[in-house]
Structure 1
Amino acid sequence: MNTLYSKIDSRRIPIYSIQDTARYLRIPVSTIRSWTIGHNYPVKSGSKFFAPIIEISQSKPYLLSFTNLVEIHVLRAIRQHHKIQLNRVRNALDFIDERFKVAHPLATQAFSTDGVDLFIDRYGELIQASQVERNQLKLAINTHLERIEPDDGGLAIKLYPFTRSHEENNPRIVVIDPRVAFGRRTIDGTGIATSILKERYSAGDSIDELAVDYDCDRLSIEEAIRCELSTISA
Protein backbone atom coordinates (compact mmCIF):
# COMPACT_ATOMS: atom_id res chain seq x y z
CA MET A 1 0.00 0.00 0.00
CA ASN A 2 1.17 3.51 -0.71
CA THR A 3 2.66 4.83 2.56
CA LEU A 4 1.34 8.37 2.06
CA TYR A 5 -2.19 7.13 1.31
CA SER A 6 -2.14 4.84 4.35
CA LYS A 7 -1.53 7.84 6.60
CA ILE A 8 -4.59 9.70 5.31
CA ASP A 9 -7.65 9.43 7.53
CA SER A 10 -10.45 8.44 5.16
CA ARG A 11 -12.95 10.23 7.39
CA ARG A 12 -11.42 13.58 6.46
CA ILE A 13 -11.38 13.11 2.69
CA PRO A 14 -14.08 15.18 0.89
CA ILE A 15 -15.84 12.68 -1.38
CA TYR A 16 -19.58 13.26 -0.95
CA SER A 17 -21.47 15.70 -3.15
CA ILE A 18 -24.22 17.76 -1.56
CA GLN A 19 -26.76 15.76 -3.58
CA ASP A 20 -25.39 12.42 -2.35
CA THR A 21 -25.31 13.72 1.22
CA ALA A 22 -28.95 14.74 0.94
CA ARG A 23 -29.87 11.30 -0.38
CA TYR A 24 -27.86 9.39 2.20
CA LEU A 25 -29.13 11.38 5.18
CA ARG A 26 -32.68 12.08 3.94
CA ILE A 27 -32.22 15.84 4.29
CA PRO A 28 -33.19 18.42 1.64
CA VAL A 29 -30.40 19.67 -0.61
CA SER A 30 -31.30 23.28 0.21
CA THR A 31 -30.80 22.64 3.92
CA ILE A 32 -27.38 21.07 3.43
CA ARG A 33 -26.32 23.92 1.15
CA SER A 34 -27.35 26.42 3.80
CA TRP A 35 -25.49 24.59 6.56
CA THR A 36 -22.28 24.01 4.58
CA ILE A 37 -22.02 26.85 2.04
CA GLY A 38 -24.34 29.52 3.44
CA HIS A 39 -26.82 31.66 1.57
CA ASN A 40 -27.93 35.23 1.00
CA TYR A 41 -31.23 36.38 2.43
CA PRO A 42 -33.16 39.61 1.88
CA VAL A 43 -33.25 42.47 4.38
CA LYS A 44 -34.61 46.02 4.07
CA SER A 45 -31.22 47.42 3.06
CA GLY A 46 -30.60 44.71 0.46
CA SER A 47 -29.29 41.31 1.51
CA LYS A 48 -27.18 39.62 4.13
CA PHE A 49 -25.14 36.45 4.06
CA PHE A 50 -25.96 33.53 6.35
CA ALA A 51 -22.57 31.96 7.08
CA PRO A 52 -22.34 28.16 7.06
CA ILE A 53 -22.53 26.20 10.30
CA ILE A 54 -20.52 23.15 9.18
CA GLU A 55 -16.97 23.74 7.99
CA ILE A 56 -16.24 21.88 4.73
CA SER A 57 -13.55 21.94 2.07
CA GLN A 58 -13.82 25.15 0.05
CA SER A 59 -12.55 23.58 -3.19
CA LYS A 60 -15.11 23.49 -5.97
CA PRO A 61 -17.17 21.52 -6.65
CA TYR A 62 -18.10 21.47 -2.97
CA LEU A 63 -17.58 18.04 -1.42
CA LEU A 64 -18.15 16.81 2.11
CA SER A 65 -16.19 14.36 4.23
CA PHE A 66 -17.56 11.48 6.28
CA THR A 67 -17.01 13.58 9.41
CA ASN A 68 -19.13 16.33 7.84
CA LEU A 69 -21.89 13.77 7.26
CA VAL A 70 -21.85 12.86 10.94
CA GLU A 71 -22.04 16.53 11.95
CA ILE A 72 -25.00 17.11 9.64
CA HIS A 73 -26.69 13.98 10.95
CA VAL A 74 -26.51 15.38 14.51
CA LEU A 75 -27.66 18.86 13.45
CA ARG A 76 -30.66 17.22 11.81
CA ALA A 77 -32.03 16.43 15.28
CA ILE A 78 -31.89 20.10 16.23
CA ARG A 79 -33.41 21.31 12.97
CA GLN A 80 -36.42 19.00 13.31
CA HIS A 81 -37.46 20.55 16.60
CA HIS A 82 -36.20 24.12 16.20
CA LYS A 83 -36.16 24.81 12.49
CA ILE A 84 -35.38 28.53 12.42
CA GLN A 85 -32.96 29.25 15.25
CA LEU A 86 -29.80 28.56 13.23
CA ASN A 87 -27.86 31.59 14.42
CA ARG A 88 -28.46 30.46 17.97
CA VAL A 89 -27.43 26.94 17.02
CA ARG A 90 -24.18 28.48 15.78
CA ASN A 91 -23.68 30.33 19.08
CA ALA A 92 -24.26 27.15 21.05
CA LEU A 93 -21.82 25.25 18.84
CA ASP A 94 -19.22 27.97 19.31
CA PHE A 95 -19.61 27.44 23.05
CA ILE A 96 -19.03 23.69 22.59
CA ASP A 97 -15.97 24.39 20.43
CA GLU A 98 -14.50 26.55 23.19
CA ARG A 99 -15.18 23.96 25.88
CA PHE A 100 -13.86 20.89 24.05
CA LYS A 101 -11.15 22.51 21.92
CA VAL A 102 -11.28 19.72 19.33
CA ALA A 103 -12.09 19.80 15.66
CA HIS A 104 -15.61 18.69 14.71
CA PRO A 105 -16.91 18.17 18.28
CA LEU A 106 -20.32 16.95 17.06
CA ALA A 107 -18.57 13.89 15.60
CA THR A 108 -16.77 12.98 18.82
CA GLN A 109 -17.66 10.72 21.71
CA ALA A 110 -17.02 13.63 24.09
CA PHE A 111 -20.10 15.34 22.68
CA SER A 112 -22.13 12.16 23.16
CA THR A 113 -21.28 12.14 26.86
CA ASP A 114 -20.61 15.56 28.39
CA GLY A 115 -21.39 17.72 25.37
CA VAL A 116 -25.10 17.04 24.89
CA ASP A 117 -26.17 18.53 28.21
CA LEU A 118 -23.83 21.50 27.77
CA PHE A 119 -25.21 22.17 24.31
CA ILE A 120 -28.84 21.85 25.36
CA ASP A 121 -28.34 24.13 28.37
CA ARG A 122 -26.69 26.84 26.26
CA TYR A 123 -29.10 26.50 23.34
CA GLY A 124 -32.07 26.34 25.71
CA GLU A 125 -31.01 29.60 27.31
CA LEU A 126 -30.67 31.28 23.92
CA ILE A 127 -34.17 30.30 22.75
CA GLN A 128 -35.73 30.37 26.22
CA ALA A 129 -36.80 26.75 25.87
CA SER A 130 -38.92 25.14 28.56
CA GLN A 131 -37.70 22.04 30.38
CA VAL A 132 -40.10 19.94 28.30
CA GLU A 133 -38.61 21.35 25.09
CA ARG A 134 -35.10 20.67 26.36
CA ASN A 135 -36.00 17.09 27.20
CA GLN A 136 -37.48 16.60 23.75
CA LEU A 137 -34.36 18.00 22.15
CA LYS A 138 -32.12 15.75 24.22
CA LEU A 139 -34.16 12.71 23.24
CA ALA A 140 -33.91 13.64 19.56
CA ILE A 141 -30.16 14.21 19.74
CA ASN A 142 -29.57 10.95 21.62
CA THR A 143 -31.67 9.07 19.06
CA HIS A 144 -29.28 10.35 16.40
CA LEU A 145 -26.14 9.75 18.47
CA GLU A 146 -27.11 6.11 19.01
CA ARG A 147 -26.57 5.59 15.29
CA ILE A 148 -22.93 6.71 15.43
CA GLU A 149 -20.11 4.31 16.26
CA PRO A 150 -16.81 5.87 17.46
CA ASP A 151 -13.32 4.44 17.17
CA ASP A 152 -11.00 3.92 20.13
CA GLY A 153 -10.04 7.59 19.97
CA GLY A 154 -13.66 8.74 20.25
CA LEU A 155 -14.09 10.03 16.68
CA ALA A 156 -17.02 8.68 14.63
CA ILE A 157 -16.02 5.86 12.29
CA LYS A 158 -19.44 4.41 11.35
CA LEU A 159 -22.82 6.03 10.76
CA TYR A 160 -26.05 4.07 10.52
CA PRO A 161 -28.28 6.52 8.62
CA PHE A 162 -32.03 6.52 9.02
CA THR A 163 -33.56 4.39 6.30
CA ARG A 164 -37.20 4.95 7.24
CA SER A 165 -39.35 8.00 7.88
CA HIS A 166 -39.91 7.21 11.56
CA GLU A 167 -36.64 7.55 13.45
CA GLU A 168 -37.61 5.33 16.35
CA ASN A 169 -36.75 1.66 15.90
CA ASN A 170 -34.97 2.23 12.58
CA PRO A 171 -33.00 -0.95 11.83
CA ARG A 172 -29.18 -0.76 11.94
CA ILE A 173 -28.63 -2.66 8.70
CA VAL A 174 -27.34 -0.02 6.31
CA VAL A 175 -24.08 1.67 7.29
CA ILE A 176 -21.76 4.38 6.00
CA ASP A 177 -18.15 3.44 6.74
CA PRO A 178 -15.43 5.50 5.01
CA ARG A 179 -13.16 2.43 5.01
CA VAL A 180 -15.60 0.29 3.03
CA ALA A 181 -16.80 0.64 -0.59
CA PHE A 182 -15.34 4.17 -0.86
CA GLY A 183 -17.75 5.41 1.79
CA ARG A 184 -20.93 4.41 0.00
CA ARG A 185 -23.90 2.98 1.88
CA THR A 186 -23.49 -0.75 2.37
CA ILE A 187 -25.12 -3.60 4.24
CA ASP A 188 -23.26 -3.68 7.55
CA GLY A 189 -20.61 -6.38 7.77
CA THR A 190 -20.81 -7.34 4.10
CA GLY A 191 -19.38 -4.52 1.99
CA ILE A 192 -22.32 -4.88 -0.41
CA ALA A 193 -23.18 -1.44 -1.78
CA THR A 194 -26.89 -0.65 -1.57
CA SER A 195 -26.71 1.21 -4.90
CA ILE A 196 -25.67 -1.98 -6.70
CA LEU A 197 -28.56 -3.90 -5.18
CA LYS A 198 -30.99 -1.17 -6.24
CA GLU A 199 -29.66 -1.19 -9.80
CA ARG A 200 -30.03 -4.95 -10.11
CA TYR A 201 -33.49 -4.86 -8.52
CA SER A 202 -34.58 -2.10 -10.91
CA ALA A 203 -33.25 -4.18 -13.81
CA GLY A 204 -35.51 -7.07 -12.86
CA ASP A 205 -33.65 -9.24 -10.35
CA SER A 206 -35.82 -10.45 -7.49
CA ILE A 207 -35.07 -10.08 -3.79
CA ASP A 208 -34.57 -13.85 -3.53
CA GLU A 209 -32.14 -13.90 -6.46
CA LEU A 210 -30.09 -11.11 -4.91
CA ALA A 211 -30.08 -12.84 -1.53
CA VAL A 212 -28.66 -15.98 -3.13
CA ASP A 213 -26.13 -14.18 -5.32
CA TYR A 214 -24.71 -12.16 -2.42
CA ASP A 215 -25.19 -14.84 0.25
CA CYS A 216 -27.12 -12.32 2.33
CA ASP A 217 -30.39 -12.59 4.22
CA ARG A 218 -33.54 -11.42 2.50
CA LEU A 219 -34.47 -8.78 5.10
CA SER A 220 -31.12 -7.02 4.72
CA ILE A 221 -31.49 -6.96 0.93
CA GLU A 222 -34.98 -5.50 1.28
CA GLU A 223 -33.82 -2.78 3.67
CA ALA A 224 -30.90 -1.86 1.40
CA ILE A 225 -33.17 -1.47 -1.60
CA ARG A 226 -35.78 0.40 0.43
CA CYS A 227 -33.27 3.03 1.53
CA GLU A 228 -32.06 3.53 -2.05
CA LEU A 229 -35.58 3.94 -3.41
CA SER A 230 -36.54 6.43 -0.69
CA THR A 231 -36.61 10.00 -1.99
CA ILE A 232 -36.59 13.42 -0.34
CA SER A 233 -37.61 16.81 -1.60
CA ALA A 234 -34.77 19.13 -2.60
Structure 2
Amino acid sequence: MAIDIYSTPLLTAREAARHLRMPESTLDNWLAASKSGDPLVHAVTPERRGWPRVPFVGVIEAYVLRALRDLGMPLADIRKAAEIVRAEFDDPYALASRRIATDGVAVFVRLADDSLVHARDSQGAFREVLDGCLRYIEWSSDGSAKRLRLPQYPSEADVVIDPRFGWGAPVLERNKVKVDDLVALWRAGESIKQVADEYDLTESAVEDVLRLAA
Protein backbone atom coordinates (compact mmCIF):
# COMPACT_ATOMS: atom_id res chain seq x y z
CA MET A 1 0.00 0.00 0.00
CA ALA A 2 1.38 3.39 -1.00
CA ILE A 3 1.68 5.83 1.88
CA ASP A 4 0.66 9.44 1.39
CA ILE A 5 2.57 11.57 3.90
CA TYR A 6 -0.39 13.95 4.17
CA SER A 7 -3.38 11.61 4.39
CA THR A 8 -2.28 8.15 5.54
CA PRO A 9 -2.69 7.81 9.33
CA LEU A 10 0.43 6.15 10.73
CA LEU A 11 0.47 6.72 14.47
CA THR A 12 -1.87 7.41 17.35
CA ALA A 13 -1.29 10.62 19.27
CA ARG A 14 0.10 8.56 22.14
CA GLU A 15 2.60 6.78 19.87
CA ALA A 16 3.71 10.00 18.18
CA ALA A 17 4.13 11.74 21.53
CA ARG A 18 6.20 8.84 22.87
CA HIS A 19 8.51 8.82 19.85
CA LEU A 20 8.95 12.60 20.03
CA ARG A 21 9.40 12.54 23.82
CA MET A 22 6.62 14.97 24.64
CA PRO A 23 3.41 14.84 26.71
CA GLU A 24 0.46 13.31 24.89
CA SER A 25 -1.80 16.08 26.23
CA THR A 26 0.40 18.70 24.56
CA LEU A 27 0.22 16.94 21.21
CA ASP A 28 -3.55 16.58 21.57
CA ASN A 29 -3.80 20.35 22.03
CA TRP A 30 -1.67 20.99 18.95
CA LEU A 31 -3.79 18.60 16.89
CA ALA A 32 -6.93 20.57 17.73
CA ALA A 33 -8.04 23.33 15.38
CA SER A 34 -7.33 26.88 16.53
CA LYS A 35 -9.80 29.77 16.40
CA SER A 36 -8.68 30.37 12.81
CA GLY A 37 -9.63 26.80 11.98
CA ASP A 38 -6.09 25.76 11.06
CA PRO A 39 -4.25 23.36 13.39
CA LEU A 40 -0.51 23.70 13.82
CA VAL A 41 -0.21 19.91 13.63
CA HIS A 42 -2.41 18.06 11.16
CA ALA A 43 -4.33 14.87 11.79
CA VAL A 44 -6.74 12.79 9.74
CA THR A 45 -9.99 11.19 10.80
CA PRO A 46 -9.23 7.71 12.20
CA GLU A 47 -11.12 4.73 10.86
CA ARG A 48 -12.13 3.84 14.40
CA ARG A 49 -11.84 5.45 17.79
CA GLY A 50 -8.33 4.97 19.16
CA TRP A 51 -6.84 4.07 15.78
CA PRO A 52 -3.94 6.02 14.20
CA ARG A 53 -4.72 9.58 13.15
CA VAL A 54 -1.32 11.26 12.80
CA PRO A 55 0.17 11.18 9.26
CA PHE A 56 3.88 11.60 8.63
CA VAL A 57 3.46 15.31 7.92
CA GLY A 58 1.90 15.65 11.37
CA VAL A 59 4.92 13.96 12.94
CA ILE A 60 7.21 16.48 11.25
CA GLU A 61 5.02 19.42 12.29
CA ALA A 62 4.94 18.21 15.89
CA TYR A 63 8.71 17.73 15.93
CA VAL A 64 9.39 21.24 14.58
CA LEU A 65 6.83 22.82 16.90
CA ARG A 66 8.29 21.07 19.91
CA ALA A 67 11.82 22.13 18.91
CA LEU A 68 10.72 25.76 18.59
CA ARG A 69 8.90 25.66 21.92
CA ASP A 70 11.92 24.06 23.61
CA LEU A 71 13.94 27.06 22.41
CA GLY A 72 11.45 29.33 24.15
CA MET A 73 9.67 30.60 21.04
CA PRO A 74 6.20 32.02 21.88
CA LEU A 75 3.33 29.99 20.48
CA ALA A 76 1.76 33.19 19.14
CA ASP A 77 4.86 33.92 17.05
CA ILE A 78 4.90 30.37 15.70
CA ARG A 79 1.23 30.66 14.73
CA LYS A 80 1.97 33.98 13.01
CA ALA A 81 4.83 32.43 11.06
CA ALA A 82 2.56 29.58 9.97
CA GLU A 83 -0.06 32.10 8.82
CA ILE A 84 2.54 33.95 6.72
CA VAL A 85 3.67 30.72 5.05
CA ARG A 86 0.08 29.72 4.33
CA ALA A 87 -0.71 33.12 2.83
CA GLU A 88 2.51 33.55 0.83
CA PHE A 89 2.87 30.00 -0.49
CA ASP A 90 -0.64 28.55 -0.22
CA ASP A 91 0.89 25.79 1.91
CA PRO A 92 -1.29 24.53 4.77
CA TYR A 93 1.58 22.45 6.17
CA ALA A 94 3.70 25.41 7.20
CA LEU A 95 5.66 23.72 9.97
CA ALA A 96 6.59 20.85 7.66
CA SER A 97 8.20 23.24 5.18
CA ARG A 98 11.67 24.76 5.14
CA ARG A 99 10.18 28.24 5.41
CA ILE A 100 10.21 28.63 9.19
CA ALA A 101 13.47 29.10 11.05
CA THR A 102 14.85 30.56 14.25
CA ASP A 103 18.07 31.95 15.64
CA GLY A 104 17.07 30.90 19.14
CA VAL A 105 15.70 34.38 19.89
CA ALA A 106 12.93 34.97 17.35
CA VAL A 107 10.94 33.11 14.70
CA PHE A 108 11.52 33.99 11.05
CA VAL A 109 9.90 33.16 7.73
CA ARG A 110 11.99 32.60 4.61
CA LEU A 111 10.27 34.24 1.64
CA ALA A 112 10.40 33.23 -2.02
CA ASP A 113 13.42 35.47 -2.69
CA ASP A 114 15.20 33.79 0.27
CA SER A 115 14.96 36.94 2.37
CA LEU A 116 13.93 36.64 6.01
CA VAL A 117 11.22 38.46 7.91
CA HIS A 118 10.32 38.41 11.58
CA ALA A 119 7.13 36.45 12.15
CA ARG A 120 5.94 38.94 14.76
CA ASP A 121 6.08 42.15 12.71
CA SER A 122 7.11 41.05 9.17
CA GLN A 123 10.16 43.31 9.33
CA GLY A 124 13.27 42.25 7.47
CA ALA A 125 15.88 40.27 9.36
CA PHE A 126 19.62 40.45 8.78
CA ARG A 127 21.09 38.32 11.53
CA GLU A 128 22.31 34.83 10.76
CA VAL A 129 19.51 32.34 11.22
CA LEU A 130 20.28 28.89 12.48
CA ASP A 131 18.15 26.02 11.21
CA GLY A 132 19.45 23.65 13.85
CA CYS A 133 16.23 21.81 14.49
CA LEU A 134 15.74 21.21 10.76
CA ARG A 135 19.02 19.36 10.34
CA TYR A 136 17.37 16.18 11.58
CA ILE A 137 14.83 16.28 8.74
CA GLU A 138 15.76 14.86 5.34
CA TRP A 139 13.92 16.57 2.49
CA SER A 140 12.74 15.27 -0.86
CA SER A 141 13.49 17.10 -4.11
CA ASP A 142 9.96 18.57 -4.10
CA GLY A 143 10.56 20.18 -0.70
CA SER A 144 8.47 17.75 1.34
CA ALA A 145 9.87 15.97 4.37
CA LYS A 146 11.22 12.50 3.63
CA ARG A 147 12.37 11.18 6.99
CA LEU A 148 13.11 12.32 10.52
CA ARG A 149 16.16 11.28 12.48
CA LEU A 150 15.26 11.10 16.15
CA PRO A 151 17.82 13.31 17.89
CA GLN A 152 17.58 11.54 21.25
CA TYR A 153 19.39 8.52 19.81
CA PRO A 154 23.19 8.59 19.37
CA SER A 155 24.52 8.49 15.82
CA GLU A 156 25.69 4.91 16.21
CA ALA A 157 22.11 3.77 16.75
CA ASP A 158 20.78 6.10 14.00
CA VAL A 159 17.04 5.73 14.54
CA VAL A 160 14.65 7.32 12.04
CA ILE A 161 10.96 7.70 11.34
CA ASP A 162 10.56 6.98 7.65
CA PRO A 163 7.03 6.44 6.30
CA ARG A 164 8.34 3.87 3.83
CA PHE A 165 9.39 1.51 6.62
CA GLY A 166 7.75 0.30 9.80
CA TRP A 167 4.46 2.10 9.11
CA GLY A 168 5.70 5.21 10.91
CA ALA A 169 7.29 3.42 13.85
CA PRO A 170 10.96 4.27 14.54
CA VAL A 171 13.38 1.98 12.72
CA LEU A 172 17.12 1.55 12.69
CA GLU A 173 18.41 3.26 9.57
CA ARG A 174 21.00 0.56 8.97
CA ASN A 175 18.64 -2.38 8.52
CA LYS A 176 15.11 -0.92 8.87
CA VAL A 177 14.39 -3.08 11.93
CA LYS A 178 11.71 -1.55 14.13
CA VAL A 179 12.96 -0.35 17.49
CA ASP A 180 10.00 -2.06 19.16
CA ASP A 181 11.02 -5.41 17.61
CA LEU A 182 14.55 -5.05 18.96
CA VAL A 183 13.21 -4.23 22.42
CA ALA A 184 10.76 -7.15 22.28
CA LEU A 185 13.56 -9.61 21.47
CA TRP A 186 15.58 -8.40 24.45
CA ARG A 187 12.56 -8.57 26.74
CA ALA A 188 11.95 -12.13 25.56
CA GLY A 189 15.24 -13.09 27.22
CA GLU A 190 17.87 -12.61 24.54
CA SER A 191 21.13 -11.06 25.71
CA ILE A 192 22.41 -7.78 24.32
CA LYS A 193 25.05 -9.72 22.39
CA GLN A 194 22.43 -12.05 20.92
CA VAL A 195 20.25 -9.10 19.89
CA ALA A 196 23.26 -7.40 18.32
CA ASP A 197 24.16 -10.54 16.38
CA GLU A 198 20.56 -11.05 15.24
CA TYR A 199 20.30 -7.57 13.74
CA ASP A 200 23.95 -7.08 12.74
CA LEU A 201 24.48 -4.22 15.18
CA THR A 202 27.17 -3.34 17.67
CA GLU A 203 26.43 -4.11 21.29
CA SER A 204 26.81 -0.43 22.16
CA ALA A 205 24.15 0.50 19.57
CA VAL A 206 21.77 -2.04 21.09
CA GLU A 207 22.48 -0.66 24.56
CA ASP A 208 21.75 2.87 23.33
CA VAL A 209 18.40 1.82 21.89
CA LEU A 210 17.40 -0.14 24.98
CA ARG A 211 18.35 2.71 27.30
CA LEU A 212 16.00 5.06 25.45
CA ALA A 213 13.21 2.78 24.26
CA ALA A 214 12.92 -0.13 26.69
Question: The TM-score by the shorter chain falls in which range?
Answer: 0.7 to 0.9
**2:21 maps to which residue?**
26
| In the alignment, structure 1 residue 191 sits paired with structure 2 residue 176 | yes
What is the CA distance between 1:198 and its match in structure 2?
1.1
Whole-Å Cα distance in 1 between the matches of residues 175 and 198 of structure 2? Answer: 13
Relative contact order, CA 8 A, sep 6+: which one is greater? Answer: 1
What are the Cα deviations for residues 195-232 of structure 1, in whole angstroms up to 9, with x where unaligned? 11112222332211111112222233223223313xxx
What percentage of aligned pairs have identical amino acids? 26
**1:74 maps to which residue?**
64
What are the Cα deviations for residues 148-197 of structure 1, in whole angstroms up to 9, with x where unaligned? 00122121111011225xxxxx5270011110122211110301111111
| In the alignment, structure 1 residue 156 sits paired with structure 2 residue 145 | yes
What are the Cα deviations for residues 33-57 of structure 1, in whole angstroms up to 9, with x where unaligned? 1111269xxxxxxxx9997422321
| TM-score between both structures, scaled by the size of structure 2 | 0.77
Secondary structure, aligned partner of 1:157: strand
**1:64 maps to which residue?**
54
Q: 1:101 to 1:50 in 2, by over 3 A?
A: closer
AA of the residue aligned to 1:89: I
Aligned length: 199
Whole-Å Cα distance in 2 between the matches of residues 64 and 95 of structure 1? Answer: 24
**1:12 maps to which residue?**
7
The two structures, once aligned, show a CA RMSD in angstroms of 3.2
**1:123 maps to which residue?**
119
AA of the residue aligned to 1:79: R
| In the alignment, structure 1 residue 203 sits paired with structure 2 residue 192 | no
Moved more, 172-181 or 214-223: 214-223
Secondary structure, aligned partner of 1:118: strand
| In the alignment, structure 1 residue 96 sits paired with structure 2 residue 81 | no
Assess if the C-alpha contact under 8 Å between 1:26 and 1:162 holds in 2.
Answer: no
Q: 1:53 to 1:73 in 2, by over 3 A?
A: same
Whole-Å Cα distance in 2 between the matches of residues 148 and 214 of structure 1? Answer: 25
| TM-score between both structures, scaled by the size of structure 1 | 0.71
Whole-Å Cα distance in 2 between the matches of residues 51 and 154 of structure 1? Answer: 21
Assess if the C-alpha contact under 8 Å between 1:173 and 1:223 holds in 2.
Answer: no
Whole-Å Cα distance in 2 between the matches of residues 49 and 117 of structure 1? Answer: 21
Secondary structure, aligned partner of 2:109: helix
Whole-Å Cα distance in 1 between the matches of residues 181 and 88 of structure 2? Answer: 43
Moved more, 94-103 or 53-62: 53-62
Assess if the C-alpha contact under 8 Å between 1:25 and 1:161 holds in 2.
Answer: yes
Q: 1:18 to 1:147 in 2, by over 3 A?
A: same
**1:43 maps to which residue?**
none
Whole-Å Cα distance in 2 between the matches of residues 224 and 174 of structure 1? Answer: 8
Higher helix share: 1
Whole-Å Cα distance in 1 between the matches of residues 21 and 86 of structure 2? Answer: 27
**1:177 maps to which residue?**
162
**2:42 maps to which residue?**
55
Whole-Å Cα distance in 2 between the matches of residues 51 and 101 of structure 1? Answer: 13
Unaligned regions of 5+ residues in structure 2, if any?
102-106, 111-115
What is the CA distance between 1:103 and its match in structure 2?
3.7
Whole-Å Cα distance in 1 between the matches of residues 33 and 84 of structure 2? Answer: 20
